[in-house]
């Protein structure tokens, strides 16, 4: 099959225009995506939405496009410019699905907004490529079911660790190897009680949102990414929160294997992550050969010393690879990555003892961090997903390291994300999705 680039150029000749991409979010990740898409053949960024319109204008300028028109919320004017292949900036991401674009690329980083944009795009018969995995790990089963019931594509984008891990798992299974573990090396320090103030100086130096950086360093992001991988593959966690061992590349195939063979896993396959060592920013799948001839051949090919082997990729390229999922969606009508089962849940675990009456901050805040457990265990405990915790009022005192439950908080049922999650839970419990 021809490359995406060749096929996109062919499509543009046949259709008379490139793939129109509507981007929501012009922060650090969005800027990279916009610049990459603008360099890709056969697609262009038709509109960028950001509440800070100056960021969207700057993102276009950095990508080499002529100065875009800022139309704020004038849909008719925005649509007219898009049809004329002129760049446009708006201030409301929820407007993007209503514009003449082929696919909505969501890069807001805010799960509440991301889920609403994905939902509105899908019901509006638009494809969706999502970068905010926090939304997928909250309502991804619902969003995937809506897309799959029609002719839309809902996908998490290439380049982030969950998707690239899935590609390694698929590769291993295609080779007839048994997957024992899959996951990532953690890029940041693992400090579970970090709060925004602890990372403020580093965030400013990196031009990052300090809440997002805190979500990385307190471990929430890793828990979310691996839970998303779990729900796309059906591979569970071995223990709550995962083991997260210190591990180097050459130790992957000796540590992330069953206990009876000298490793740390009490059950397998399992999603995992590692700290320290030299695995980050890479991803891995630890596999086992079940046939002595295959094992001898892999050893001869210097793949390792069997029967356990590590398939390792030393990088994931985030915004640089993300547009590959746009090509897959538009050209082949397939999702690179989406939730298939509800195998794992990211619960909210308290960082410190908390007093009744406070309004809980969400991910990357002062109150809770993400903690992945089996989805059935989460249901039995009535645990509230971390994606819903932000804005909830705590009804009773909680000690440190407690999993927050629905019984512990007052939830605003009017929030769209809450309503979507309630619908997902009801449909899942009924066996419909």
Contact indicator for 363, 404 with CB cutoff of 8 Å: no
User: φ, ψ for residue 8 (rounded to 5)?
Assistant: -70, -40
Listed residue (75, 90, 11, 73) closest to 43, CA to CA: 11
Contact indicator for 14, 25 with CB cutoff of 8 Å: no
Domain 4-159+320-332, CATH class in plain words = alpha beta
Confidence category of residue 376, pLDDT binned at 50, 70, 90: very high
Q: What's the pLDDT tens digit per position in 240-275?
A: 999 999 999 999 999 999 999 999 999 999 999 999
User: φ, ψ for residue 129 (rounded to 5)?
Assistant: -115, 120
Q: What's the pLDDT tens digit per position in 401-420?
A: 999 999 999 999 999 999 99
Q: What's the pLDDT tens digit per position in 305-332?
A: 999 999 999 999 998 999 999 999 999 9
Q: What's the pLDDT tens digit per position in 132-190?
A: 999 999 999 999 999 999 989 999 999 999 999 999 999 999 999 999 999 999 998 99
Listed residue (321, 345, 364) closest to 404, CA to CA: 345
Structure tokens at 379: 């249901």
What SS3 state is found at 394? strand
Per-residue pLDDT, 411: 98
Place of tokens 């991803």: 283
- Beta-bridge mates of residue 258: 265
What SS3 state is found at 61? helix
Per-residue pLDDT, 138: 98
Q: What's the pLDDT tens digit per position in 36-59?
A: 999 999 999 999 999 999 999 999
- Which residues, in sequence order, are CB contacts of 25 under 8 Å at separation 6+? 49, 50, 93, 106, 107, 108, 109, 131
Average pLDDT over residues 277-296: 97
Whether the pTM exceeds 0.85: the reply is yes
Structure tokens at 156: 């998490």
- Which residues, in sequence order, are CB contacts of 40 under 8 Å at separation 6+? 5, 8, 323
Domain ranges of the chain: 4-159+320-332, 161-315, 344-429
Domain spanning 344-429 has what CATH number? 3.90.1210.10
Listed residue (193, 196, 165) closest to 281, CA to CA: 165
Structure tokens at 375: 């989805």
Instruction: Evaluate if residue 198 carries a pLDDT over 90.
Output: yes
Structure tokens at 51: 């509440």
Per-residue pLDDT, 206: 87
Sheet holding 154-156, edge to edge: 69-72, 88-90, 43-49, 19-24, 103-106, 127-130, 154-156
Contact indicator for 215, 363 with CB cutoff of 8 Å: yes
246: number of Cβ within 10 Å = 12
Instruction: Evaluate if residue 1 carries a pLDDT over 80.
Output: no
Per-residue pLDDT, 207: 82
- Could you give the C-alpha distances from 264 to 63, 252, 269, in angstroms and in order? 47, 11, 12
């Amino acid at each position: 099959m021809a490359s995406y680039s060749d096929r996109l150029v062919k499509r543009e000749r046949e259709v008379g225009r490139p793939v129109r991409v509507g981007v929501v979010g012009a922060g650090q990740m969005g800027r990279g995506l916009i610049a990459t898409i603008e360099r890709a053949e056969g697609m262009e960024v038709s509109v960028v939405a950001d509440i800070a319109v100056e960021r969207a204008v700057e993102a276009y300028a950095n990508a080499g496009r002529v100065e875009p028109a800022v139309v704020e919320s004038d849909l008719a004017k925005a649509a007219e410019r898009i049809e004329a292949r002129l760049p446009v900036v708006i201030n409301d991401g929820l407007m993007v699905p209503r514009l003449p674009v082929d696919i909505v690329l969501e890069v807001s980083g805010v799960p509440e907004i991301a889920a609403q944009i994905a939902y509105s795009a899908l019901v509006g018969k638009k494809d969706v490529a999502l970068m905010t995995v926090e939304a997928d790990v909250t309502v991804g089963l619902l969003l995937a079911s809506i897309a799959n019931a029609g002719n839309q594509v809902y996908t998490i984008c290439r380049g982030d660790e969950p998707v690239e891990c899935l590609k390694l798992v698929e590769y291993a299974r295609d080779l007839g190897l048994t997957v024992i573990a899959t996951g990532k090396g953690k890029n940041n320090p693992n400090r579970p009680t970090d709060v925004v103030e602890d990372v403020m100086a580093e965030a400013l130096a990196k031009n990052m949102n300090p809440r997002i950086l805190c979500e990385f360093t307190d471990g929430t992001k890793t828990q979310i990414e691996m839970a998303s991988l779990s729900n796309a593959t059906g591979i569970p966690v071995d223990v709550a929160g995962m083991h997260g061992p210190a591990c180097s590349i050459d130790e992957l195939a000796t540590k992330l294997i069953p206990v009876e063979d000298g490793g740390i896993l009490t059950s397998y396959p399992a999603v995992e992550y590692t700290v320290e060592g030299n695995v980050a920013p890479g991803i891995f799948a630890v596999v086992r050969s079940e046939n002595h001839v295959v094992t001898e051949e892999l050893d001869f090919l210097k793949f390792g010393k069997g029967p356990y082997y590590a398939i390792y990729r030393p990088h994931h390229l985030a915004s640089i690879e993300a547009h590959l999922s746009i090509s897959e969606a538009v050209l082949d009508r397939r999702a690179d990555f989406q939730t298939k089962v509800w195998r794992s849940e990211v619960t909210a675990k308290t960082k410190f003892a908390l007093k009744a009456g406070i309004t809980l901050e969400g991910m990357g805040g002062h109150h809770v961090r993400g903690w992945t457990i089996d989805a059935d265990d989460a249901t039995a405990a009535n645990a509230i997903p971390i994606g819903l915790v932000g804005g909830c009022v705590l009804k009773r005192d909680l000690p440190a390291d407690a999993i927050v439950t629905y019984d512990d908080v007052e939830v605003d049922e009017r929030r769209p994300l809450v309503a979507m999650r309630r619908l997902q839970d009801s449909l899942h419990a009924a066996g419909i999705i």
